[in-house]
Structure 1
Amino acid sequence: MRMMAHLWRCLAGPRLYRVYHEYDDHESMAYDPNVVERVGNKIIQGLNIMVYVGLYTSPFIASYLYKRDYFSFAGVISIGNIATGLSILLMVGFLIRGFGRSFNPTYNKFLDILHQCEQSYNTKTMSLLRQYDFDFWAWPVDFSWADAEGDESKPRVYVDRSVGRSGLGWVITLPCQLAAWAAVHCFGRHLMYPGSIQLLQAAMDNYLQSGREKLVKEHSGLRNKITARDGNFIDTMFVDRRGSQTHPHGSTLVMCCEGNAGFYEMGIMVTPLDAGYSVLGWNHPGFSGSSGSPFPKQEQNAVDAVMQFAIHKLGFKPENIVVFAWSIGGYPGSWAAMNYLQIRGLILDATFDDVLPLAHPRMPSWMRGLVTTAIRQHLNLNVSDNVARYPGPITIVRRLRDEIICTQDQILRQTHLDFFICKISYVAYKPTQSLYTKRHLAALCSGPKGQSTSLLELGIDEDYYFTLLSTYAAEHSGAFPMMIGEEMTDDEKTKMLLFLASKYLVDMDSFHNNPLDTSLFRMPWTPIQDTSYVQVD
């Protein structure tokens, strides 16, 4: 009976990829399956790829089967026979793999440790389990959003641009809404988040394994499994540098939010790591080890659980956490900032204010209405609305050669102009929204040359406004919103707005996918932290 139970665990157990040395975290070796297990793996992998290809090409397959009359009774019988044969082959693959594993001492040892963790997951068993890299679905849960004391009492802030309809209007738009739902779930989600495509993940599997190995071996990274509010499991990697003599910034945690095809294994974590910070990376729902799908609600639940994990499990105070978001990661990053106002700052790199203007040029013009409905109802990534509700320090990194976000100069200017108008309104008291102000903000957003020219043309003395703002913050409060503009004229408000905008914007002369230069990665500017001013009475 015990032998049968062991054989079953070998048959149903997770794939093992790598074994780290028991006494040296900097040594590891790839798991070496025997010939029998390797054959079973090949059969299962091949059938999985067939399923993924079939799903993504199902409209073409269905059309082909229809033309070949496979939807007749005889055709359905033929399809059923093929499906039965493939199912039997899959079962054979599992049996062969399980039989091979049962004779592999390395896998048997791993399976015993995993079984111990399932029985009692504590510090000792967790330390033993971290010696292995394996399928994440079998990893025990390290933290759940429900573990955070008082979590239910914490109000969440949500922004919804969707337009509600009732009665006749709802009936009239129902066909378009149904078409939008179908488009999003069939292909729209994968176009917006290509990293969620299983075929792409299968092709990148070796690179993802190598990335995890590097984080564990070179940076002593710790992988953790988090349960989000909606039941999704979130795959995270934490590099702890608190108390390190060689990393003076280790007391600050940088939480990274990846792009639409980014994974923490090979994403933006490298920049804050090179800069010497403690770093927490996580994968979007449906990416790598994370379960679910990257819809806005699931993104919100995921980043919320990661923030709770950082605060309650890792022990970082919100004021020592910086959110670093790249590209489409600006949505969960800005949502986290909007809901955790005490964080030290928000860094948005190569992101957008609203995804809809970027989607329209990439789709046929006749689909414009459908695209608008699909995004507003199902994929409404309204980053600027979130930023407008975060009154804390922020840095916006602009890629001057960004071929993804900034397809035209007008989009380049307008994207960052919208950010600034939303953001700076929290700093200067009732800022003027005149065309005069917007024109100069647009000039500042047009490029490095335009920025310096605009400040000089307006007669803005940076040292003066720097000192003015710093003195106000020292005497009153550095918290936003500041009321420094309460007694200013419109002209003085405009100059203060432009000065503040110049502090928020950082230019990088590169394309969209290049890693952020470490020299440009710095904490968001605040007048209280900057010591280069002289306080005036």
Structure 2
Amino acid sequence: MKEWGVDDVMVVELSFMFIIILGRWLLPKGNISHSALSQLLLVYLSLASDILDLLTLFSEKEIYLSSPMVHIVLVIFSLCMFQFALNLTATRGRSFHAEFDEAEYEIRQLPPPIPIHQKVLNKLMPSTTPSSSTARPLTTTSANQTPRIKPRAASFSIMNPSVTIFENPIHNENLEMQEILKPTFPEVNLLSTIPRPIMQNRLSIGSLNSLHSSLWHTSRSKQMSRKSIAESVKVFVKKRSAKFLRSEIWSILVTLSLQDGPFFAVRLVAIFVYRVRSFLTYFFTFKNFLILLFQTYRITSICLERDQEEEEFEEKMDTIRRMSLAASQLGVSVNRNFYLRMKNQLTLLWRCIFGPKLYQTYPAIPPTPMRNDQQPAHIYEKNTAESLSDTVFFALKLSFGILKVTWPICLIYFYRKGFLTYDNGIVTLRLAGCVAIVSAYFMLLRGVGRYVNPSYKLFIDEFYRVKTNTSKDARQHLLAKFDFSLSHWQPDYVIDTSAVRKIPMISITKDELLNRTEPTLLERIFHYPTLFLGYICVNVFGRRLMFPGSLQLLRQMMERPLLDGRTNLIVQHRAKRYVIRTADGNNIDTIFVDRRQSNQTNNGRTLVVTCEGNAGFYEMGCMGTPIDRGYSVLGWNRPGFGESSGYPGALSEINSIDAVMRYAIEELHFLVDDIVIFAWSIGGYSACWTAVSYQDIRGLVLDAVFDDVLPLAQRQMPAFASKFVEKTIRYYLDLNNVQLLKLFNGPFYLIRRTQDEIISLVPGRVETNRGNELLFNVLHYRYPHIYNDDQTLTLLRRYVCANQVQRIALYDQYCSNETDLQALTREYRMEHPKAAYPCKFGETFSLIERQRFAVYLIDQYLVNFDSQHCTPLPQTFFRIPDRCV
């Protein structure tokens, strides 16, 4: 078989171009003028020449020898042929299109009954003028003549289908028009009490201006000289579909999506992937780029610019809005049209897709306890679509969380195995694209599942109605009715960003400065690399190990207990939820139980602010203890816990508690000296910081609190990494409670759990409990004249580390005359009404007196609770701390 030459290929290509133009000329063109047809053929001539330019890529050796690239070019070449099956406009004029809003109404008004004498005169002297200014002159026909029906001359549209209208309806006193077909506007009766006349006269809504003066008798000359607003709207409605579907914007989008966009992409691939360096390829690539740029600008100008026709229509629509308001004031019922209903449904679907997650609807009375495998009635029941989508999103979040933790290890592994290549990068991008597509699909599926769920539709309707409402009562009513994700909720209280707090700089004592050694040359060289590595370790896994409550998996496992805890607080204790925006930008989920109006006890005037542990939440944490004692309680979840945003850490911890304290003082109107801080476990850091920053608080209660997090962190890490752990902790997670507590001059006491397995270096051994070190350092700092010799310090450690039997024996030995000790402390408080530490108490005491007070003071600051770390604290152990000395 003879091979084709270059000339043969060129002839085939040129013939193909002329076949396209000839076929477009012969195919049905619709109602188009000769001038428009000539412009259309010129457009297709330009398009055909651009298409043939794509075939010049086959002249490049790199493209011709690549089978995938050949297939891609041919597929794109075939794809662009589909645009010739569309009837693209050849005009370059501006096509006006707009969307209707809820002002698109029409009102049908019935005329008054015609008097009998007027009917007689009309029969004797027929006239072509209407009997009312509101009636339109119509040509009458005989009784047996049917009205002429004329189809609408407009393009078919899904949203505005082609219908027929009556040109000359029958006008006869014995015949009544049963139906008048209309394309868009619903019709309502303005005066339903008036009987239906011979003919249904139409009145535009603009005629409502005359209802206040002369409703039925208007000057004919004035009516004929003024253009009806409703008639203008009708004309616009008839042409809207054709203008919108035949607008130039659609021809531009078709050309860009089927030709210029794919051509530009394939030429970029040829340049950057296959290293094509020919002049023609560069020229056509730049040409496609300019076309994309200019056509995008053209689309933008079409969408944004407004012509005179649009402005006139906007003025008419504004008039219609005012008239519809007047109609509503006159008691006229106006129906919303189809477009408004469609808009509302699409808006509802959009809100269901991107709306917050609904957890439950709070019951009116506290629910009865049920097993975990039973679903309470107030828990929101998801359908299959929403449940499946939430499962997929949870799996994706969990995968991303694991990837965030392991990415340094994965990066090193891939580098050593040689996987960091261009091809693997393309595979990774494809995988990311697949994940994005899957996420979009399940997001849409979740939205559809919510859309068909009546419970969620009821919630989302109330949510968006209240979301922008500044009324506190409306917001609290919604929060007391529904339990939902607070990610979409506006904060109730915002701290200015200029008030952001910084990590406190703890002063170094002279002894610590003397004991410090000069860093070696090697330590100086590796100082900053070590800090950088420590920063990576803290953000990858260190923070999550220190605050496991922020892990997505743990929150998912504890979802049901958290929901039950919130239900108990909201329903039984009438708690109120608030969202507070901190100075560093985190939203803190808080809950407040107000007991100030309670008549059962006077404790309600005292506010207890709780600080939870590293896996604690206010829903099931330490709030229950002060609530049972009748105090007003304010609980909060640290950043990354529950519905609070952000990540936990030392800096976010102090900014969060500062925002909570400001809200309690400024919005809840509690005095500082009526506030008690109650902290458990790692919450002792934020509590100690609050005590230092707000020295006038009434007291501080520390439950299972450690002195310093460094020994606990070093216990969990290998011994060879001890120095690295110390440097990392001191720079990024320095939770040093003892140094903060030394700066607090108010009363406090420590609850020590004798079987604590978390803050004890040896689980269950009370002598290794880090709370002991906290007590040793603070007492030694506050009372330097009591604990000023080795014998007293030894007695201090002996009493703190003793078991219950030994402590009773030592206390009976040294504090048998407790009344005398109380009298001495009372006398000192009278002489020094304002507490300040270190104090001079015991400056003149003998050794025996110092030993007696050494044991007595420990008993005032320490309360032992025989339990493990996570056991709820009984209310008998909670009290308001008093000043000891």
Same fold per TM (> 0.5)?
yes
Paired with 2:425 and 2:879, the residues of 1 have a C-alpha distance of 62
Paired with 1:75 and 1:160, the residues of 2 have a C-alpha distance of 52
Same amino acid, percent of matched pairs: 35
CA drift of 1:495 comes to: 3.2
Paired with 2:425 and 2:624, the residues of 1 have a C-alpha distance of 52
Q: Deviations over 1:108-134 (max 9, x none)?
A: 332233223332221232133211111
1:139 aligns with 2:489: yes
CA contact (8 A) 1:254 1:277 kept: yes
CA contact (8 A) 2:786 2:841 kept: no
Q: Equivalent residue for 2:636?
A: 282
Secondary structure in structure 1 of the residue aligned to 2:750:
strand
CA contact (8 A) 2:608 2:626 kept: yes
Paired with 1:292 and 1:166, the residues of 2 have a C-alpha distance of 36
Q: Equivalent residue for 1:8?
A: 350
CA contact (8 A) 2:607 2:633 kept: yes
Paired with 2:501 and 2:382, the residues of 1 have a C-alpha distance of 48
Return closer, same or farther for 1:171/1:417 CA change in 2, 3 Å cut-off: closer
Return closer, same or farther for 1:38/1:401 CA change in 2, 3 Å cut-off: closer
Q: Deviations over 1:318-338 (max 9, x none)?
A: 222111111111111111111
Q: Equivalent residue for 1:454?
A: 810
CA contact (8 A) 2:593 2:632 kept: yes
CA contact (8 A) 1:240 1:279 kept: yes
Paired with 1:11 and 1:435, the residues of 2 have a C-alpha distance of 70
Paired with 1:294 and 1:201, the residues of 2 have a C-alpha distance of 14
Return closer, same or farther for 1:172/1:320 CA change in 2, 3 Å cut-off: same
Secondary structure in structure 2 of the residue aligned to 1:29:
coil
Q: Once structures 1 and 2 are overlaid, which stretch shifts more, 127-136 or 294-303?
A: 127-136
CA drift of 1:250 comes to: 1.8
Q: What is the 5 A alignment of 1:78-477? A: 78-130=427-479, 131-146=481-496, 158-159=505-506, 170-408=524-762, 409=765, 412=768, 415-423=771-779, 425-426=781-782, 428=783, 430-447=785-802, 448-458=804-814, 461-474=817-830, 476-477=832-833
Q: Deviations over 1:186-207 (max 9, x none)?
A: 1111111111212222222222
- What code does the residue aligned with 2:657 have? V
Q: Once structures 1 and 2 are overlaid, which stretch shifts more, 477-486 or 138-147?
A: 477-486
CA contact (8 A) 2:691 2:700 kept: yes
RMSD: 3.1
CA drift of 1:483 comes to: 4.5
- What code does the residue aligned with 2:433 have? T
CA contact (8 A) 1:338 1:389 kept: yes
Q: Once structures 1 and 2 are overlaid, which stretch shifts more, 283-292 or 375-384?
A: 283-292
1:524 aligns with 2:524: no
TM-score by length of structure 2 reads: 0.55
CA drift of 1:304 comes to: 0.9
Q: Deviations over 1:191-230 (max 9, x none)?
A: 1111121222222222222221122122212111111111
CA drift of 1:470 comes to: 1.9
Paired with 2:880 and 2:390, the residues of 1 have a C-alpha distance of 47
Secondary structure in structure 2 of the residue aligned to 1:9:
helix
Secondary structure in structure 2 of the residue aligned to 1:236:
strand
Secondary structure in structure 1 of the residue aligned to 2:604:
coil
CA contact (8 A) 2:612 2:679 kept: yes
Return closer, same or farther for 1:58/1:17 CA change in 2, 3 Å cut-off: same
2:870 to 513, 532, 537: 513
Paired with 1:154 and 1:208, the residues of 2 have a C-alpha distance of 30
- What code does the residue aligned with 2:727 have? T
- What code does the residue aligned with 1:287 have? F
CA drift of 1:389 comes to: 0.8
Give the gaps of 5 or more residues in structure 1. 529-537
Aligned residues: 522
Paired with 2:502 and 2:442, the residues of 1 have a C-alpha distance of 49
Q: Equivalent residue for 1:47?
A: 396
1:37 aligns with 2:393: no
Q: Deviations over 1:40-72 (max 9, x none)?
A: 333333333333343344456557766876433
CA contact (8 A) 2:760 2:770 kept: no
Paired with 1:248 and 1:415, the residues of 2 have a C-alpha distance of 32
Paired with 1:228 and 1:118, the residues of 2 have a C-alpha distance of 20
- What code does the residue aligned with 1:9 have? R
Return closer, same or farther for 1:432/1:511 CA change in 2, 3 Å cut-off: closer
1:479 aligns with 2:828: no
Paired with 1:224 and 1:3, the residues of 2 have a C-alpha distance of 31
Paired with 2:659 and 2:443, the residues of 1 have a C-alpha distance of 35
Paired with 2:598 and 2:381, the residues of 1 have a C-alpha distance of 35
Paired with 1:11 and 1:413, the residues of 2 have a C-alpha distance of 51
CA contact (8 A) 2:653 2:686 kept: yes
Secondary structure in structure 2 of the residue aligned to 1:54:
helix
CA contact (8 A) 1:444 1:502 kept: no
Secondary structure in structure 1 of the residue aligned to 2:378:
strand
TM-score by length of structure 1 reads: 0.88
Return closer, same or farther for 1:514/1:140 CA change in 2, 3 Å cut-off: same
CA drift of 1:411 comes to: 5.2
Q: Once structures 1 and 2 are overlaid, which stretch shifts more, 162-171 or 285-294?
A: 162-171
CA drift of 1:97 comes to: 1.4
Give the gaps of 5 or more residues in structure 2. 1-342, 368-376
CA contact (8 A) 1:113 1:125 kept: no
Return closer, same or farther for 1:386/1:460 CA change in 2, 3 Å cut-off: farther
- What code does the residue aligned with 1:441 have? L
CA contact (8 A) 1:417 1:445 kept: no
Return closer, same or farther for 1:279/1:343 CA change in 2, 3 Å cut-off: same
Return closer, same or farther for 1:406/1:486 CA change in 2, 3 Å cut-off: same
Work out which structure has the larger RCO, using CA pairs closer than 8 Å and 6 or more positions apart in sequence.
Answer: 1
CA contact (8 A) 1:16 1:107 kept: yes
Secondary structure in structure 2 of the residue aligned to 1:510:
coil
Secondary structure in structure 1 of the residue aligned to 2:619:
helix
CA contact (8 A) 2:692 2:743 kept: yes
Q: Once structures 1 and 2 are overlaid, which stretch shifts more, 485-494 or 246-255?
A: 485-494
